[in-house]
Amino acid sequence: MPIRFIVFALLLLFQLFVPARAAVAADSYQVGFRTLGQWSADANLRLDVNIWYPSVRPPRTLNYAPWTVSAARNGKAVEGRFPLLLLSHASPGTRFSYHDTAARMASYGFVVAAPTHARDCMDDMSLLFTWRQLESRVRELSGVIDLLLNDAELAASIDKNRIGLLGFGTGGAAALLLGGALPDCLSWPDYCARAGQQDIYCNRWARDRMDGICHSLPLTKSLADPRIKAVAAVAPGFGMLFSSASFRYFHPPLLLIAAENDAMNRSELHVGSIARLMNGKAPYVSLPRADTGALMAPCPESLAAELPELCRSVSAEERNVIHQQMDDALSDFFLHFLGNDKNLPTIPPPPDLTPPQPRAQPAAPAPVARQRRPR
């Protein structure tokens, strides 16, 4: 083969390869980080939020004891507007628990906001298995959207028309409610017979609280937030609160991710049940060997010593494999629907669930007074 032909072929391959590499590099950003807190007396709402975003500053190791994160603290944001992704932690977590996934999504061009859910987090689980646990999460997540869009600096980086929600565990159940799902408790009476009394929802204390949730239903007002255009639920809980009728007003695209070793929200009873109710309309990704702790970032050593069951359930190598598969699925899903306006869904207003007023009964005719005959 003539040498000039070989050189020409190599130059052609180089021209094809370099633009592709450049395009990939242009889609990857350095990551900025800041925290935001607000107390609203009117709404009785406290929000402490971590925010990751595309930045022009190189990252550094930041110490938020006991956590360390890699990002540019208050780094200058990349110019332009990016989709907003809310991240709702599982009950044993906090706003730092998924910092590696949050940073990776920010590097793909998302502003990621993760609140700590008061009274439903690692430090305080007093709302566990109550309706207030779910209702408060919904209120806090919608409140985060308001908080960020009213912050002059952050609002300049957010495209308010491209908002997604990523929820883990109870955060996944709250994400379904914000997407428009209507809980009805139809599956709860038979749940413990199928799950067994060792299931975490089925001890006496938990059953009493779950019964209280069912007494709060059905809803008379939808919890849907139509600003949310795409939802991912990772190992969601409370699968027994949903039936085939629950998703008739659920409109955003949905990604379901199962953690196959999750002992709290067992896949076949929660995310698997939800997938069956969706009749194949939601893409489903299964993560072998994953449990609640494996979905989180590696714990700081002091936390791992205190909570080894949560922090050391998998090896570092297994965690890396789990996170690679999970983060790839999340980035593909959210970039597809929120990365530009091409696949952005239209979400209608929430339905009116106001109970019909009872029909007024016609008034009984007044008795006719008898006239007395003259004597």
**Domain spans in the chain, listed from the N-terminal domain onward:** 31-338
At 115, list the tokens. Answer: 């609140």
Q: From residue 75, give the alpha-carbon distance in Å to each of 35, 53, 82, 104.
A: 12, 9, 16, 16
Q: Give the per-residue pLDDT at 299.
A: 96
Tens-binned pLDDT, residue by residue, of the chain (375 aa): 443 333 333 333 333 333 333 333 346 899 999 999 988 776 677 899 999 999 999 999 999 999 999 999 999 999 999 999 999 999 999 999 999 999 999 999 999 999 999 999 999 999 999 999 999 999 999 999 999 999 999 999 999 999 999 999 999 999 999 999 999 999 999 999 999 999 999 999 999 999 999 999 999 999 999 999 999 999 999 999 999 999 999 999 999 999 999 999 999 999 999 999 999 999 999 999 999 999 999 999 999 999 999 999 999 999 999 999 999 999 999 999 999 999 999 999 999 999 887 777 777 676 766 666 665
Its pTM stands at 0.88
Q: What is the largest CA-CA distance in the chain?
A: 140
**Separation between Cα atoms, residue 269 and residue 239, nearest integer Å:** 7
Q: Give the per-residue pLDDT at 44.
A: 76
CATH architecture of 31-338: 3-Layer(aba) Sandwich (3.40)
Q: Give the per-residue pLDDT at 30.
A: 98
Q: Give the per-residue pLDDT at 15.
A: 35
